[in-house]
C-alpha cells in the first residue's frame, strides 16, 4: 500500500544520531486534516513494548533491543500501519506518520453511527493521560451500526430524532418530525467521510447535541482527500447496482480547491417484491482561500431519488404469500408497477466562511437554503372498491368468520394465484365511467410536502488556555412548507371529483367549499392544501476543561420555537376552522448538560454525564388534523427529558472495553396516529385521529463493548445491549374525526371525543429488540486481505400496542355502560402485549486491498443473515377492533380478520463493492 511506501521512505530519511539508545518516537497525524491523532496504539510486533499517542499525537518507546522489527500503529476507524524498522542502538525519529481512514462503505442505517471520527487537537500537556476516544467507531456503536441495525434496533430505545445530524455546522434534522432525511445526501459516501461524531451527551464543538449525540459532516473542498476515486457496488438489499466517482484537487497553488462527486443507484426490485429504486447524486464543493486566516466554501448537493415502498401485513397474508410479499403493486403491460412510491428531491445550497481570528480563536459563519419536494403516492378511490388485494374482505378469514367455507376457499385460491393490485381492472373502471359520462372511480396521487428552509448561524471556538476551551453558537431557522395532494395519473380516465365520499351532507363532502364539486386532472392540487410555518431561534454555550487526571464540561442551550398552520382550503366538515391562519404556537425551551471523565490511570477511566432538556413539540405533533383544520393538540407543551449515564473504560494494547449504564426519563410527550376504528360509540367505522398526550417514558439499561487483539492479525469482539423501555404513566387519549351526524350519534362533539386515561404504564415501547448480543472475530492478514464473522442474538422485541384498546372505550358499550359479558381475566389475555420470538443472525465480511500500477484497489463483500433466518422485526396492533366485544370475537377465530400487522426482516442479503483510487 502507498502508506507503507511513504512511511518506509520517511523512516530511511529520519533517524538521527542522538544521545539516547534503543528509542523510537514519532508524530501520528490524520492524512486528511493533518491534525494530531490521540489514542493511537503503537506496538512493536513480537515484543511487549508499546505506547499510546498523547493529546499532541506523539509517542515514545524506549529500551528496545537492536535489530529488525515491525512497528504497528492502530486506531479505530483508520487503516492499520505496519512499518518495518531497524535499530542500531540509537534514537530513531520517524517524524510525521499519516493514518488513512478505513475505506469502508456506509450502509443504509437508521442510526447516527456512520462516522469516521476526526479527533480534535488538544492543547494539554504532552504527559497528560489521553482522554476518551469519542468515536462512532467504538466497539459497541460500531456493532450497533453494522450488526444490529437490520433488526430495527434502536440505541437506548430512543427515536432517531434524538441524534443530531449536521453538515458544516448546520443541523439537517427536519423541523416537521425532528428526524434527518438521510436520502438528502445519499450516494455521496466519498465526500462525507470527514465526520466528527460525539456520542450521547458528550460535548460537541458545534452543537448542544441530542440524547444520541451529534454527527457533523465536513464538506470543505480543501480537506477532501486529493485524487480520483471510482467505485462499483452490487447488492440485493435496496438497489442492485451503484456507480460512484469522486475527484478532489486539494488546495491548489492559486488558493482554490475543488471537489466533485456523483453517483447513480438503480434497482428494479430490492429484497421485497416490486420495491424499485432509482437514485442519483451530484455534489460540488468549491473553496477559496482569502488569506492565511480565512476562506469561503460553497457546497451544492442534489440527490433526487425514487423508491417503491413495501407493506406491513397480517400473519395470514405472510402465511399465504411469504415474507417478500408486497401488497402495493400489480402488473401493468407486463411490468410490475408499485402504487406507493416515495420521491425525494430537495437540493441543498451552503455557503460557509471560516475565519481564524488568532491561533486559538475561530469563527465559522454558515448559511444554508434547502428547497424541493417529498412525494408519497397512493391510489384514491372515492368512486370504486378498495383496490388492495390484501384488503380484509378479500382474504379467507373474512369468509371464515361467517363459516362461508366455499368463499374462503375461493378467496385463498385467488389470493395465492394473484394477490396483487389489478391495474387493468382500475383502468377499465375509469373507462366505463367515462363512457357513462361519469368522473373517475380511481386516481393515482401524491401526498406532497414542498419545503423551503433557510438557516443561518455563527459558531465561535476559542482556547482560553492549555486547559480551557469555550464554544458558542447562535442560529436562526425558518421553514415554509406547503402541503397538498396532487393528481399524478388519471389511470385512463378524464377527471376526478374532489370530494370526501364519507361526508354526511353536501357541504361536508366538499374538500374546499370555495371550489365545490371540482373536477381535477393531472397536475391539479386537491383533497387538502395548507402551509406549515416555523421559526426557530436558538443559542448554545459550552465550556470544556482538560487536566491531567480529570476532564469535564458544562453546556447550556436556549431556544424559541413558533409553529403555525395556514389553511388554503375551506374544508366542508370544518368550515369555521380550516381556512386561514391558526393561532401561533410558541415555546421557550432550554437545556443543560454536564459531564466529567476521571482518568484513574492511562488504562482505567470513568465517565459520567447528565442532562435536563426541554424540547418543543414537532410540527407533526402540534396540530391534531392539519390536513383539514387548525385544531391544536389539547394541553400541548414541551417534552421534559432527564438523562444520565455512567461508563467504565478499560484499554490496553490487547483489550479495549467499555461498559455503560444509562437512564432516561421523558415526560409530556405527544403522539398522533391515524386509522379506521370500529366500536368507538356507533355502528359505523370511523376514520379517526388518535391524540395521546402527557406521555411519560422510561429508558434504562446497560451497553457493553469489548475487543481483544489476541495477535497482530486476529481479533475477538463482543457487544451487548440490555435494555428496558416502557411507558411510565397512563397518558390522556382523545379522538377527532369528521364533525357529522354519524360521529355525533357516536358521542363525538364537533368531531371530538375524550376517552380519559389509557392504561399504558409498564407496557413495553416498540423500539426494536430491547436485548441484543453479538460475538465475532476479525482476521487481517499482513498481505492486506481480511475476513470476519459475527453471531448476533436478539430478544425482547414487542408489538406496538393500541392505546385506544387500553382506554375505557374497551370495556363500555355505546351507552357508556360496562359490557355485561366483560371478564377481567379474558380481557387481560386479550390485552397482553405480543412478544416476538427470539432469533439469531450470522453476518460475514471479507475483503482485499492491493496496489496496481500505483493505484489503490479495494474490494469487499458483506453478507447479512447468512443462514437466511426468518424473523419479525416490528409490527403494530390494528385499532380496528376498539372494544372488548369486537376484539374477543375476532381473536376467537383461527385467523383473525384484523390481526396484528408485521414487518419481517430481510433474508440473506449481500453487498459487494470494488473501488480504485488514483
683 phi, psi to nearest 5 deg:
-85, -15
Kindly state whether residue 417 falls inside one of the protein's structural domains.
Answer: no
pLDDT at 108 over 60: no
Kindly state whether residue 445 falls inside one of the protein's structural domains.
Answer: yes
Kindly state whether residue 205 falls inside one of the protein's structural domains.
Answer: no
Confidence of residue 653 (pLDDT cuts 50, 70, 90): confident
Predicted pLDDT at 16: 39
3-state secondary structure of 480: strand
Q: What are the counts of helices (DSSP H) followed by strands (DSSP E) for the chain?
A: 9, 47
Three cell numbers at 489?
395519473
Predicted pLDDT at 562: 98
**Cα(357)–Cα(365) distance, rounded to whole angstroms?**
13
Q: In angstroms, what CA-CA distances link 59 with 37, 145, 458?
A: 11, 31, 36
Q: Is the CB of residue 510 less than 8 Å from the CB of residue 527? A: no
Domain of 306 in residue numbering reads as: 227-387+422-917
pLDDT at 680 over 80: no
pLDDT mean over 544-561: 94
Task: Examine the fold and report which residue of 81, 99, 117 is the final residue of a domain before the chain moves on.
Answer: 99
The continuous run of DSSP H or E covering 8 comes out as helix 2-14
pLDDT mean over 901-913: 92
pLDDT at 745 over 90: no
Kindly state whether residue 405 falls inside one of the protein's structural domains.
Answer: no
| Nearest partner of 530 among 577, 493, 562, 491, judged by Cα | 577
Three cell numbers at 316?
395470514
**Cα(839)–Cα(870) distance, rounded to whole angstroms?**
8
Q: Which residue has the higher pLDDT, 407 or 815?
A: 407
Confidence of residue 539 (pLDDT cuts 50, 70, 90): very high
pLDDT mean over 369-376: 96
**Cα(859)–Cα(231) distance, rounded to whole angstroms?**
10
| Nearest partner of 136 among 62, 204, 227, 186, judged by Cα | 204
Reduced 3-state DSSP string for 396-422: HHHHHCCCCHHHHHHHHHHHHHCCCCC
**What CATH code is carried by the domain that includes residue 442?**
2.40.170.20
Three cell numbers at 856?
489503490
Predicted pLDDT at 684: 62
pLDDT at 13 over 50: no
Which one-letter DSSP state was computed for residue 4? H
pLDDT at 502 over 60: yes
Task: Examine the fold and report which residue of 99, 114, 135 is the final residue of a domain before the chain moves on.
Answer: 99
3-state secondary structure of 151: helix
Kindly state whether residue 489 falls inside one of the protein's structural domains.
Answer: yes
Pairing of strands 855-864, 839-852: antiparallel
Whether 240 and 95 map to the same domain: the answer is: no
Task: Examine the fold and report which residue of 99, 120, 154 is the final residue of a domain before the chain moves on.
Answer: 99
pLDDT at 877 over 70: yes
Range from 16-20, 164-168, 296-300, 431-435 carrying the lowest mean pLDDT: 16-20
Kindly state whether residue 113 falls inside one of the protein's structural domains.
Answer: no
Which one-letter DSSP state was computed for residue 818? B
pLDDT mean over 438-452: 96
For the chain, what is the mean pLDDT? 88
Whether 523 and 671 map to the same domain: the answer is: yes
Q: How confident is the model over 553-571, as pLDDT tens digits?
A: 999 999 999 999 999 999 9
Pairing of strands 771-780, 752-757: unpaired
Q: How much of the chain exceeds pLDDT 70, in percent?
A: 92
pLDDT mean over 579-586: 96
**Strand partners of residue 615:** 639
pLDDT mean over 139-152: 86
Predicted pLDDT at 55: 66
Kindly state whether residue 118 falls inside one of the protein's structural domains.
Answer: no
Q: Which residue has the higher pLDDT, 508 or 119?
A: 508
pLDDT at 110 over 60: no
3-state secondary structure of 891: helix
Which residue is associated with the grid cell 467504565? 648
Whether 592 and 445 map to the same domain: the answer is: yes
pLDDT mean over 192-198: 88
Burial 88-104 (b: 16+ CB within 10 A, else e): eebbbebeebbbbbebb
pLDDT at 422 over 90: yes
**Strand partners of residue 529:** 484
Predicted pLDDT at 33: 63
Reduced 3-state DSSP string for 417-445: HCCCCCHHHHHHHHHHHHHCCCCCCCEEE
Whether 87 and 231 map to the same domain: the answer is: no
| Nearest partner of 274 among 321, 315, 216, judged by Cα | 321
pLDDT mean over 86-102: 78
145 phi, psi to nearest 5 deg:
-70, -45
Q: In angstroms, what CA-CA distances link 482 with 375, 451, 479, 699?
A: 12, 6, 10, 36
Predicted pLDDT at 128: 26
**What CATH code is carried by the domain that includes residue 85?**
2.60.40.10
CB atoms within 10 A of CB 236: 17
Q: Is the CB of residue 479 less than 8 Å from the CB of residue 565? A: no
Burial 409-425 (b: 16+ CB within 10 A, else e): eebbeebeeebbbebee
Count the domains in the chain: 2
Kindly state whether residue 495 falls inside one of the protein's structural domains.
Answer: yes
pLDDT mean over 749-776: 93
Percent helix / strand / coil, the chain, rounded to 5: 10, 50, 40
Predicted pLDDT at 17: 39
**Cα(104)–Cα(107) distance, rounded to whole angstroms?**
9
Q: How confident is the model over 328-352, as pLDDT tens digits?
A: 999 999 999 999 999 999 999 999 9
Predicted pLDDT at 45: 73
pLDDT at 297 over 80: yes
Range from 296-300, 718-722, 858-862 carrying the lowest mean pLDDT: 858-862
**Cα(623)–Cα(447) distance, rounded to whole angstroms?**
17
Predicted pLDDT at 648: 96
pLDDT mean over 808-831: 89
pLDDT at 114 over 80: no
**Cα(315)–Cα(414) distance, rounded to whole angstroms?**
18
Predicted pLDDT at 115: 22
CA dihedral 247, 252, 257, 260 (to 10 degrees): -10
Which one-letter DSSP state was computed for residue 147? I
Range from 106-120, 199-213, 454-468, 885-899 carrying the lowest mean pLDDT: 106-120
DSSP letters, 709-757, are: E-SSSEEEEEEEEEEEEEE-S--EEEEE---SHHHHHTT-BTTEEEEEE
Amino acid at each position: 500500500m502507498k502508506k507503507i511506501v511513504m512511511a518506509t521512505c520517511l523512516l530511511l530519511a529520519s533517524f538521527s544520531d542522538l544521545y539516547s539508545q534503543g528509542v523510537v518516537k514519532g508524530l501520528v497525524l490524520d492524512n486528511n486534516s493533518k491534525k494530531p491523532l490521540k489514542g493511537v496504539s503503537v506496538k512493536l510486533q513480537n515484543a511487549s513494548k508499546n505506547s499510546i499517542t498523547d493529546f499532541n499525537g506523539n509517542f515514545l518507546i524506549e529500551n528496545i533491543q537492536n535489530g529488525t522489527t515491525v512497528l504497528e500503529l492502530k486506531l479505530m476507524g483508520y487503516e492499520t500501519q505496519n512499518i518495518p524498522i531497524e535499530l542500531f542502538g540509537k534514537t530513531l525519529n520517524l517524524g510525521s506518520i499519516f493514518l488513512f481512514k478505513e475505506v469502508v462503505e456506509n450502509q443504509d442505517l437508521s442510526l447516527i453511527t456512520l462516522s469516521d471520527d476526526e479527533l480534535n487537537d488538544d492543547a494539554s500537556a504532552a504527559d497528560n493521560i489521553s482522554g476518551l476516544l469519542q468515536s462512532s467507531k467504538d466497539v459497541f456503536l460500531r456493532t450497533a451500526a453494522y450488526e444490529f441495525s437490520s433488526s430495527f434496533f434502536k440505541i437506548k430505545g430512543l427515536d432517531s430524532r434524538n441524534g443530531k445530524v449536521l453538515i458544516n455546522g448546520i443541523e439537517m434534522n427536519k423541523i416537521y418530525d425532528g428526524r434527518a432525511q438521510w436520502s438528502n445526501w445519499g450516494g455521496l459516501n466519498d465526500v462525507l467521510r470527514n465526520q466528527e461524531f460525539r456520542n450521547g451527551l458528550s460535548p460537541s464543538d458545534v452543537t448542544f447535541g441530542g440524547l444520541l449525540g451529534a454527527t457533523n459532516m465536513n464538506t470543505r473542498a480543501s480537506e477532501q482527500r486529493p485524487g480520483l476515486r471510482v467505485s462499483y457496488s452490487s447488492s440485493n438489499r435496496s438497489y442492485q447496482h451503484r456507480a460512484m466517482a469522486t475527484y478532489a484537487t486539494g488546495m491548489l497553488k492559486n488558493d482554490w480547491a475543488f471537489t466533485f462527486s456523483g453517483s447513480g443507484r438503480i434497482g428494479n426490485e430490492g429484497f421485497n417484491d416490486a420495491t424499485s429504486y432509482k437514485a442519483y447524486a451530484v455534489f460540488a464543493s468549491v473553496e477559496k482561500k482569502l488569506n492565511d486566516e480565512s476562506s469561503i466554501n460553497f457546497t451544492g448537493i442534489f440527490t433526487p431519488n425514487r423508491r417503491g415502498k413495501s407493506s406491513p401485513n397480517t400473519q395470514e397474508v405472510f402465511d399465504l404469500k411469504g415474507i417478500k410479499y408486497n401488497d402495493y403493486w400489480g402488473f401493468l403491460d407486463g411490468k410490475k408497477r408499485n402504487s406507493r412510491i416515495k420521491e425525494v428531491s430537495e437540493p441543498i445550497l451552503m455557503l460557509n466562511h471560516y475565519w481564524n481570528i488568532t491561533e486559538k480563536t475561530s469563527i465559522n459563519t454558515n448559511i444554508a437554503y434547502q428547497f424541493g419536494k417529498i412525494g408519497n403516492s397512493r391510489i384514491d378511490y372515492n368512486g370504486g372498491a378498495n383496490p388492495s388485494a390484501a384488503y380484509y374482505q378479500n382474504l379467507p378469514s373474512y369468509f371464515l368468520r361467517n363459516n362461508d367455507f366455499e368463499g374462503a376457499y375461493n378467496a385463498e385460491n385467488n389470493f395465492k394465484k394473484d394477490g396483487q393490485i389489478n391495474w387493468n381492472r382500475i383502468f377499465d373502471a375509469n373507462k366505463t365511467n367515462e363512457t357513462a359520462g361519469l368522473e373517475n372511480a380511481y386516481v393515482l396521487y401524491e401526498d406532497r410536502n414542498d419545503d423551503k428552509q433557510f438557516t443561518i448561524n455563527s459558531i465561535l471556538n476559542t482556547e482560553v488556555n492549555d486547559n480551557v476551551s469555550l464554544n458558542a453558537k447562535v442560529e436562526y431557522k425558518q421553514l415554509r412548507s406547503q402541503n397538498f395532494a396532487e393528481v399524478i395519473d388519471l389511470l385512463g380516465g378524464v377527471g376526478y371529483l374532489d370530494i370526501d365520499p364519507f361526508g354526511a351532507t353536501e357541504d361536508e363532502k366538499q374538500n374546499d367549499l370555495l371550489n365545490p364539486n371540482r373536477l381535477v386532472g393531472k397536475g391539479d392540487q386537491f383533497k387538502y392544501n395548507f402551509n406549515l410555518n416555523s421559526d426557530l431561534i436558538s443559542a448554545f454555550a459550552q465550556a470544556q476543561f482538560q487536566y491531567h487526571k480529570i476532564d469535564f464540561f458544562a453546556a447550556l442551550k436556549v431556544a424559541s420555537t413558533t409553529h403555525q398552520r395556514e389553511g388554503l382550503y375551506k374544508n366542508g366538515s370544518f368550515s369555521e376552522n380550516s381556512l386561514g391562519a391558526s393561532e401561533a404556537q410558541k415555546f421557550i425551551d432550554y437545556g443543560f448538560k454536564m459531564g466529567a471523565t476521571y482518568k484513574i490511570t492511562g488504562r482505567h477511566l470513568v465517565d459520567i454525564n447528565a442532562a435536563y432538556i426541554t424540547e418543543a413539540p414537532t410540527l407533526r405533533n402540534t396540530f391534531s388534523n392539519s390536513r383539514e383544520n387548525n385544531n391544536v393538540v389539547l394541553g400541548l407543551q414541551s417534552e421534559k427529558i432527564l438523562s444520565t449515564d455512567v461508563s467504565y473504560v478499560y484499554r490496553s494494547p490487547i483489550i479495549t472495553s467499555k461498559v455503560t449504564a444509562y437512564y432516561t426519563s421523558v415526560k409530556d410527550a405527544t403522539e398522533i396516529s391515524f386509522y379506521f376504528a370500529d366500536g368507538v360509540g356507533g355502528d359505523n367505522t370511523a376514520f379517526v385521529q388518535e391524540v395521546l398526550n402527557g406521555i411519560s417514558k422510561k429508558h434504562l439499561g446497560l451497553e457493553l463493548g469489548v475487543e481483544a487483539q489476541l495477535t497482530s492479525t486476529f481479533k475477538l469482539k463482543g457487544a451487548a445491549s440490555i435494555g428496558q423501555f416502557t411507558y411510565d404513566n397512563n397518558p390522556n387519549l382523545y379522538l377527532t374525526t369528521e364533525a357529522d351526524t354519524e360521529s355525533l350519534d357516536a358521542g363525538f362533539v364537533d368531531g371530538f371525543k375524550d376517552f380519559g386515561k389509557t392504561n399504558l404504564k409498564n407496557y413495553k415501547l416498540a423500539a426494536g429488540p430491547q436485548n441484543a448480543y453479538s460475538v465475532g472475530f476479525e482476521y487481517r492478514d499482513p498481505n492486506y486481505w481480511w475476513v470476519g464473522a459475527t453471531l448476533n442474538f436478539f430478544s425482547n422485541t414487542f408489538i406496538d400496542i393500541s392505546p385506544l384498546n387500553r382506554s375505557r372505550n374497551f370495556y363500555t358499550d355505546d351507552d357508556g355502560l360496562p359490557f355485561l359479558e366483560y371478564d377481567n381475566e379474558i380481557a387481560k389475555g386479550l390485552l397482553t402485549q405480543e412478544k416476538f420470538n427470539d432469533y439469531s443472525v450470522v453476518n460475514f465480511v471479507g475483503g482485499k486491498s492491493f496496489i496496481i500500477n500505483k493505484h489503490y484497489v479495494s474490494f469487499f463483500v458483506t453478507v447479512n443473515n447468512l443462514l437466511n433466518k426468518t424473523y419479525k422485526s416490528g409490527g403494530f396492533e390494528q385499532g380496528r377492533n376498539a372494544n372488548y366485544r369486537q376484539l374477543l370475537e375476532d381473536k376467537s377465530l383461527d385467523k383473525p380478520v384484523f390481526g396484528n400487522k408485521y414487518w419481517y426482516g430481510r433474508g440473506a442479503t449481500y453487498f459487494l463493492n470494488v473501488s480504485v483510487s488514483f
